[in-house]
Structure 1
């Protein structure tokens, strides 16, 4: 199978001039301590449509013949690919139809329609949405725009690799969020052609990591039940073309937990002032979960920033919990006036903030004359959590 070469990617870059933004590179000094050198973040979350997808979508659609353009294009997506196809088709004056799952977040639905696509909601799971889009293509003659498994798509995504090599020419390791593999295939093709010494690492969510078992089997395989908050990389099966690229050009595939993804989103928001979706933050999650595993200077690609506000709220809370910023405690205290006040006074002295509290007198585990107090506290991190717990024990409270 022929892989995408540097000429194709360079051609795509010329095509994309004036269409996509050259996205900035953010210096992440707070991540450097555990990795022993410079860490940079390539901000594709600041790209048009909020992700890298416009690069591949425009390259693919621009390459259609006049007859194909006249039939229009169709895509299936839960978000980023939909928006990339919608904008690309609009810029090229081509009719676009996009199928999205019935429960797609409203901001993604509104954005896709805002870029000019006709949107049809279909299916409770993405496979149903995809099947309907393919059926539409067969029935109408519209050209199906695959989200990752096409040479033009890979070439367009590879322009990210050209940019990052120019922005950080001394880079030693590149970390790329990976679902179906279009982005990492393109980046690896560009990097391997120009800097074969640079290590390219694909990052997948643990619950949707299709590449490790596929690589072990020597062919693309399907996950039975991919599940992760990072819906942008929740792809159950690699493509034939992207599998070939990853097999030949990518040095390693690592996985990250849901907790690390949450912490990564929170870190980008707090320290970098960047809104990044869970899939887009996978490279940062790898830096958090695998300290010292990557040779610096490191570039991590932030692949997208399209996150539903309600999900972002949940992720922030999840990330604060994973980062030790919340502490849940159960205490046994004497059932007499002033006991609860003493607990709260001590917690205040220790600098923790009470989020909620529950006072229970009825429990089979309680001794006569005892009550149980359940507390959720906001803290300053793992060390503060440990300190609060230890100090409460030293104060004579029974911490369960």
Structure 2
């Protein structure tokens, strides 16, 4: 499905738009994480972007291309639906290019993500009980108000997001496997695009929430399958209906898809903090949760994890940090090391 993926040249062009607004993010191999996994684990810190998540890269590329259209094709404003990080990406980039932005979020969405989007100047609309309802409402508003609808998955978005995978794979070209959370697919498709562009052999494992199984069911069944969403932690992976274009790429390029529970995600969020003192949101910790789930298969390997976002509400994070268990796990790792 190479026709759906941006080329090496497209990704390099996208990088110009990204790096005009932000620097490359770091990748570190944290000793406690590597000990916990029994593998050399490299973490790509997309929680260090100006919006605290990887999505900003795609927004910068998409909005730049939109702003550079001929005058007769200029838009009066843009609209999109999100649970938060995509909306912050659109808001950040729209403000940079002077384009009004409206964002639709589900009712009961993260208060702090909502506040962050409003601070970027977007008009925030709360509608629906879950992302799919918000997306359908955004499409209706786009038609009614003559706004440009920004999709959750688009070649320009993938080109921008692929810049961070290029950074990681150039720095660590011999990784055995990448773990990538799947929301609407831009992150995992971008990983596939970067792998192809750099001609590396790294396997790609997609990660979904066990409480939002649409992409895993679709991957296993080799066709589009909808599934209800009940996750309360991993809102960045709260997808009920797979995107057809991203699913086509996933079926062609991804080696495996793993489902992680909210409990596993919470444990990974806590492990990130205790081992690295970085804050991870639910979807941001999903890659680590998946690696912990199959760590018996990873012994001695070199793996890449994306800490794809750190935008978690204070109250939720405080509850997660207060959960018992993680200190004992790290103590067990250290005890095993002392015995060895």
Could you say whether these structures have the same fold, taking a TM-score greater than 0.5 normalized by the shorter chain as the test?
Answer: yes
From the two aligned structures, give the one with the greater strand fraction: 1
Please give the secondary structure, in 2, of the residue aligned with 1:219: coil
Residue 267 of structure 2: aligned partner: 263
RMSD: 2.2
Q: Are the equivalent residues in 2 in contact too, given 1:172–1:298 (CA < 8 A)?
A: yes
Shift of 1:382: 8.1
Instruction: Output the CA distance in 2 between the equivalents of 1:110 and 1:213.
Output: 34
Shift of 1:35: 4.7
Runs of 4+ in 1 over 6 A off after TM superposition: 379-383
Question: Which of these residues, 11, 24, 32, is aligned with residue 34 of structure 2?
Answer: 32
C-alpha spacing 1:35/1:225, structure 2 compared with 1 (3 Å): closer
Residue 273 of structure 1: aligned partner: 277
Instruction: Output the CA distance in 2 between the equivalents of 1:204 and 1:256.
Output: 6
Residue 120 of structure 2: aligned partner: 115
Q: Are the equivalent residues in 2 in contact too, given 1:68–1:142 (CA < 8 A)?
A: no
Instruction: Output the CA distance in 2 between the equivalents of 1:125 and 1:199.
Output: 32
Q: Are the equivalent residues in 1 in contact too, given 2:269–2:281 (CA < 8 A)?
A: yes
The correspondence of residues 263-302 of structure 1 with structure 2, limited to 5 A, is 263-294=267-298, 296-302=301-307
Please give the secondary structure, in 2, of the residue aligned with 1:58: helix
Q: Are the equivalent residues in 1 in contact too, given 2:78–2:101 (CA < 8 A)?
A: yes
Residue 173 of structure 1: aligned partner: 177
Q: Which runs of 5+ in 2 are unaligned?
A: 334-340
Q: Are the equivalent residues in 1 in contact too, given 2:229–2:239 (CA < 8 A)?
A: no
The more displaced of 3-12 and 121-130 is: 121-130
Please give the secondary structure, in 2, of the residue aligned with 1:20: coil
C-alpha spacing 1:163/1:28, structure 2 compared with 1 (3 Å): same
Question: Which of these residues, 217, 221, 234, is aligned with residue 217 of structure 1?
Answer: 221
From the two aligned structures, give the one with the greater helix fraction: 2
Shift of 1:381: 6.8
Q: Are the equivalent residues in 2 in contact too, given 1:75–1:145 (CA < 8 A)?
A: yes
Instruction: Output the CA distance in 1 between the equivalents of 2:74 and 2:221.
Output: 39
Report the structure number with the largest CA radius of gyration. Answer: 1
The correspondence of residues 314-333 of structure 1 with structure 2, limited to 5 A, is 314-318=319-323, 320-321=324-325, 323=326
Q: Are the equivalent residues in 2 in contact too, given 1:73–1:143 (CA < 8 A)?
A: yes
Please give the secondary structure, in 1, of the residue aligned with 2:322: helix
Instruction: Output the CA distance in 1 between the equivalents of 2:288 and 2:52.
Output: 18
Aligned residues: 327
Q: Which runs of 5+ in 1 are unaligned?
A: 326-378, 384-400
Residue 398 of structure 1: aligned partner: none
TM-score (norm 1): 0.77
Please give the secondary structure, in 2, of the residue aligned with 1:154: helix
Matched, 1:191 2:192: no
Shift of 1:218: 2.4
Residue 337 of structure 2: aligned partner: none
